Chains A and B, each alone.
Chain A
Amino acid sequence: MEKQELIEQLKLQIIEQLNLEDIEPSDIGNDEPLFGDGLGLDSIDALELIVLLEKEYGIKVEDPKEGKKIFVSVTTLADFIIANKK
């Protein structure tokens, strides 16, 4: 899968997994921060994204602190998946 395609797929999955019912994929900028000011996600959302990685991409994240680097933006998330997918 092309990176751009993965990014679009991730946006849909994030919206679904995190129940972001008021958000459209086009509302999420590729490099926009997912946490803090951006989408306003919190620590539980980070844990849900870890579940998403395992369920959809078979990637296990053991330490929640790792999530901070992975979930900076949709682009960093896509890069992480490309680098770690088996």
Chain B
Amino acid sequence: MNLSITKYCSIKNGKVFVDGVEYFSSNEDKLNPFIKEFYRSEKPGYSKFFKMDDISKLGFMATEMLLKDFNKEVSPDKFSIVLSNSKSTLVTDQNFQDTVDKEDEIPSPAIFVYTLPNIMIGEISIRHNLKGENAFFINKNFDSNFISNYVHSLFCNQKTDCCIAGWVDYSNDKYEAFVYLVEKECCNKVANHNNEEINKLYKK
């Protein structure tokens, strides 16, 4: 089955690229102020954004770029999400652990709920009403071969008509999102969905 990538977005080092073109940039180097600045410039009108942990905010804004002008009819249960990273939710885990260890602190339920990487997928699913298959993999690096095979199998099983895939990783001083939208072969593609081309987009 031939699949196409119809849009992609990368966010790192204070810059947002959509389909390889610079879309937004900021002088903020820390993720939290940067991603909030990007939200305020983009105005998605979704105040729950501010309650998310920082990695979810990053994944949320990256996928906003993929879906904000998306107007095809896709059945919610055939819209899948496959993401990966290397550090799971390390920063949030540390934030939570700090509240557990300090005697004068009370552990925060709102932080705890974000100590799982697939909560980011949940947030994206709620935002766009996506009910298809989800997976979150922990890999050392972005493994385009692995993820593209997994996504391919979802389409082959007829479980999926559309899929968000990629890499969203965050540790104390470094953040990186690379996400793309995969559809069945169509005319508005920006690349073919195969290992080689995904890697090319990732390294751009």
Q: Which residues of A contact B (CB under 8 A)?
A: 18-23, 40, 44-45, 47-48, 51, 54-55
Residues on B with beta carbons closer than 8 Å to the beta carbon of A18: 51, 110
Q: Is B70 an interface residue (CB 8 A)?
A: no
CB<8 Å pairs between A and B, sample of 16: A18-B110, A20-B50, A21-B36, A21-B47, A21-B50, A22-B47, A44-B110, A47-B109, A47-B110, A48-B108, A48-B109, A48-B110, A51-B106, A51-B108, A54-B106, A55-B106
What number of B residues sit within 8 Å (CB to CB) of A? 9
- B33-68: which residues lie under 8 A (CB-CB) from chain A? 36, 47, 50-51
Alpha-carbon distance A20/B109, docked complex (angstroms):
16
Alpha-carbon distance A22/B43, docked complex (angstroms):
11
Alpha-carbon distance A70/B162, docked complex (angstroms):
44
What is the chain B residue whose CB lies nearest that of A48? B110
Alpha-carbon distance A26/B52, docked complex (angstroms):
24
Q: Is B135 an interface residue (CB 8 A)?
A: no
Whether B47 lies near A20 (C-beta < 8 A) is yes
Q: Write the nearest CB–CB distance from A68 to chain B, whole angstroms.
A: 16
Q: Is B156 an interface residue (CB 8 A)?
A: no
- B156-177: which residues lie under 8 A (CB-CB) from chain A? none
Taking a contact as CB atoms closer than 8 A, the residue among A44, A54, A55 that contacts B113 in the complex is A44
What is the chain B residue whose CB lies nearest that of A55? B106
Residues on A with beta carbons closer than 8 Å to the beta carbon of B113: 44
Alpha-carbon distance A44/B47, docked complex (angstroms):
15
Q: Write the nearest CB–CB distance from A19 to chain B, whole angstroms.
A: 5
Q: Write the nearest CB–CB distance from A38 to chain B, whole angstroms.
A: 13
Residues on B with beta carbons closer than 8 Å to the beta carbon of A48: 108-110
Residues on A with beta carbons closer than 8 Å to the beta carbon of B51: 18-19
Whether B106 lies near A19 (C-beta < 8 A) is no
Whether A51 lies near B109 (C-beta < 8 A) is yes
Q: Write the nearest CB–CB distance from B111 to chain A, whole angstroms.
A: 9
For the complex of A and B, list the 3 residue pairs with the smallest distance between their C-beta atoms, beginning with the closest: A47-B109, A21-B50, A22-B47
Residues on B with beta carbons closer than 8 Å to the beta carbon of A47: 109-110
Whether A22 lies near B110 (C-beta < 8 A) is no
Alpha-carbon distance A19/B56, docked complex (angstroms):
15
Residues on B with beta carbons closer than 8 Å to the beta carbon of A20: 47, 50
Residues on A with beta carbons closer than 8 Å to the beta carbon of B47: 20-23, 40
- B97-150: which residues lie under 8 A (CB-CB) from chain A? 106, 108-110, 113
Whether A19 lies near B50 (C-beta < 8 A) is yes
Q: Write the nearest CB–CB distance from B100 to chain A, whole angstroms.
A: 13
Alpha-carbon distance A18/B111, docked complex (angstroms):
11
Q: Write the nearest CB–CB distance from A49 to chain B, whole angstroms.
A: 10
Residues on B with beta carbons closer than 8 Å to the beta carbon of A45: 110
